[in-house]
Amino acid sequence: MSPPAVLAFALRSLAAVPLRTALTLLAVGIGAGAVLTLSALGEGARRYVTREFAALGTNLLVVLPGRSETAGVTPGLFLGETPRDLTLDDALALARSPHVRRVAPIVVGSARVSHGARAREATVLASTPGLVAIRRWRIARGRNLPEGDPRRGRSACLLGARLARELFGAEPALGRWVRVGDRRLRVVGVLAAQGFGLGIQTDDMVIVPVATGMALFRTESLFRIMVEARSREAVPLAREAVRAILRERHGGEEDVTVVTQDAVLGAFDRILRALTYALAGLAGISLGVAGILVMNVMLIGVAARRAEIGLLKALGAPPGLIGRLFLAEAALLGAAGGLAGLGVGWLAVLLVGRIYPAFPIAAPGWAAAAAFGVALAGATLFGLLPARRAARLDPVAALADRG
């Protein structure tokens, strides 16, 4: 009996018990659909995080004061030494390295921001024009902070979108004066509304020149320095250059931590990929359950069709063929259920994509292949036992049942 004939025969047997077949397909379909949908969610999370990080710039290095990358305790801590602060001059020295495109020294604080009667407590980010460039922030109106010697304070600031709206309402903010702490600063630009993102939330912030911020918060030290390497390939060179320059400036002490964006991104990527596999595995359990159901349904089928099996044997079907006929039924259940699951999963992915357009949910190709493959292989595997039982049925005993 040719394989197409075997499949056609199996198909007819399944069609003869439509309810049983439909319920089994449903179970297999839910399993396969769950594998697809959950791995699409995991993959979406991974893509989301990667995309957000990439938007921050993959050439990015962040310099933090203090050594935190070595495990254990730094000897300096025992001697009562505190790590040297990062200074504005450190940042300017880094900017001179050939591997560095731009730097943004950063001081952070909180201050009262007011315009006329309206006032708010807001986060103040003090930096150079390089910050907006490095973080790829968009300026909706006006321009960036003025260029020039960062050591000189200037009476200019950028407002986050929401902060500008709250202080000025419908009036244009550009060119107006606001009070930040004890300073009067002119609004030279308003940042574009950022909405929902992974990076720093700029909508409620005010950005001021770094020297102005240092005076405002009465500090000489920087919170951190952001460094943009010349290119992605230059990131390791830039990191070495930053370390060397700061070691020299800090009296030979290695007292800063340099984090590269790539390292963080890689870590997230690995974690989220693992999470996706785990989700797919969890969903796979439901496929396993569906497989057991397939086995059960097939065993019921074998029991209900004993007379038919006996007849097929009497008509000259060898045991192997009987086994193949039943195995084909299991495989068809697996394949059809798997396809149905892919359809349902794909619809679910489409639906989530519609409801949350910002979330890049996507069913990875391997997940579709795995969902279908596991459904097919699982059903076939669980069909082996019923098929063997059918193949080994004693025809005389089977025919003793009335058919």
**Residues at the site binding another protein, with contacts judged by CB under 8 A:** 1-2, 5, 9, 12-13, 15-16, 307-308, 310-321, 395-396, 399, 402-403
- What's the CA gap between 282 and 233, in Å, rounded? 39
HEC string for 118-135: EEEEEEEEEECCHHHHHC
Select 13 or 202, whichever has its Cβ closest to another protein.
13
**Residue with tokens 């300017």, as numbered in its chain:** 92
**Residue with tokens 């020295």, as numbered in its chain:** 93
CB of 298 to another protein, least distance (A): 17
For residue 210, give the nearest of 63, 373, 86 by alpha carbon: 86
317 alpha carbon, distance to own chain's centre: 55
Are the CB atoms for 379 and 337 separated by under 8 Å?
A: yes
Select 7 or 352, whichever has its Cβ closest to another protein.
7
Cβ atoms within 10 A of the Cβ of 39, count?
29
- What's the CA gap between 9 and 4, in Å, rounded? 9
- In this structure, the strands spanning 118-127 and 139-142 are unpaired
Strand partners, 139: 191
Select 18 or 72, whichever has its Cβ closest to another protein.
18
Q: Is the dihedral of CA 351, 196, 258, 79 positive or negative?
A: negative
DSSP 125-173: EEE-THHHHHTTPPEEEE-PPP-S-TTS--SEEEE-HHHHHHHHTTS--
Select 12 or 143, whichever has its Cβ closest to another protein.
12
Select 164 or 391, whichever has its Cβ closest to another protein.
391
- What's the CA gap between 62 and 235, in Å, rounded? 11
CB of 325 to another protein, least distance (A): 10
CB of 306 to another protein, least distance (A): 11
- What's the CA gap between 364 and 351, in Å, rounded? 16
CB of 334 to another protein, least distance (A): 22
CB of 25 to another protein, least distance (A): 18
Select 180 or 333, whichever has its Cβ closest to another protein.
333
CB of 34 to another protein, least distance (A): 33
- What's the CA gap between 284 and 35, in Å, rounded? 6
Q: Which amino acid is present at 38? A: L
CB of 400 to another protein, least distance (A): 9
Select 162 or 306, whichever has its Cβ closest to another protein.
306
Select 77 or 314, whichever has its Cβ closest to another protein.
314
- Angle at CA of residue 36, ends 338 and 8, nearest 5°: 10
- Angle at CA of residue 175, ends 160 and 110, nearest 5°: 35
Select 55 or 396, whichever has its Cβ closest to another protein.
396
CB of 12 to another protein, least distance (A): 7
Which phi and psi (to 5°) does residue 68 adopt? -120, 0
From the number of C-beta atoms within 10 Å of its C-beta (0-12, 13-18, 19+), residue 377 rates as middle
CB of 312 to another protein, least distance (A): 7
CB of 401 to another protein, least distance (A): 9
Select 66 or 319, whichever has its Cβ closest to another protein.
319
Select 99 or 305, whichever has its Cβ closest to another protein.
305
- What's the CA gap between 210 and 88, in Å, rounded? 9
CB of 307 to another protein, least distance (A): 6
